[in-house]
Amino acid sequence: MTEALIVIDVQNDFCPGGALAVPGGDEVVPAINAMMDKYEVRVFTQDWHPAGHASFASEHAGKDPFEVIDMPYGPQVLWPDHCIQGSEGAAFHPDLATDPADLIIRKGFRRQIDSYSAFFENDRETPTGLEGYLRTRGVDRVRLVGLATDFCVLYSAVDAAKLGFSVSVDLAACRAIDLDGSLAAALESMREAGVKLDGA
Ligand code: VGL
Ligand code: ZN
């Protein structure tokens, strides 16, 4: 019975001053650093897009960030350019203790498809490989923290639950983008999926 801590996307672009700043995004850092010792398996994710990624509004003439378009795999929110591979914005927050990471998994690296979840791309079927990693390490429970509650934490939590992991989210160590009620909807979706929500 092994529990993994999965730290989602605590990167400069999702923190104040970043390209897609999540309000209070940097506030999760001390809480996450303090919990690291409690977990045998520690995984960090990084949103990691090539320049010209299809989720960027700048790639779609006449579209602004936060508009929604239809992609072959379903609706896609368009974002400001963010987390470009190798950029300062894609780097982890400088105060995040990343040395204890067993695995750093990058996602969103295919130009034509976004990947919110740590487990699957947004077609909901192309795997990132994280499931296999966790299973081969004997993990049956996952604890999720990080950014943003209503996008990458939500998708990761729901996918983990669908895959049969026992899932909890520590909301005190998460922050949301909250577009048009997306935070409330995310909390509801996670509850429905059987995700345990703590720290609200
Ligand atoms: C995220 C929007 C776009 C996230 C990533 O980490 O929640 N949100 N890319
Ligand atoms: Zn992204």
pLDDT in tens, 33-43: 999 999 999 99
CA distance 131 to 125: 12
Catalytic residues: 9, 107, 152
Does residue 200 surpass a pLDDT of 90?
Answer: no
> ipTM exceeding 0.90?
yes
| Predicted TM-score (pTM) of this structure | 0.97
Q: Which domains does the chain have, with CATH numbers?
A: 2-48+92-198 (3.40.50.850)
Report the pLDDT value the prediction gives residue 16, as an integer from 0 to 100.
98
Q: What is the DSSP letter of 189?
A: H
* Residue whose entry in the numeric block shows the structure tokens 């950014």: 147
Ligand 1 contact via 151 beta carbon (within 6 Å):
yes
Backbone angles phi and psi of 154, in degrees to 5: -55, -55
Alpha carbon of 46 to ligand 1 centroid (Å): 10
Q: Which atom of ligand 1 is nearest to the CA of 108?
A: 9
CA atoms within 13 A on the CB side of 196: 8
pLDDT value for 194: 98
Q: Which atom of ligand 1 is nearest to the CA of 148?
A: 7
Per-residue pLDDT reduced to its tens digit, 104-130? 999 999 999 999 999 999 999 999 999
The pLDDT of residue 64 is: 97
Residue 1 pLDDT class (50, 70, 90 cuts)? confident
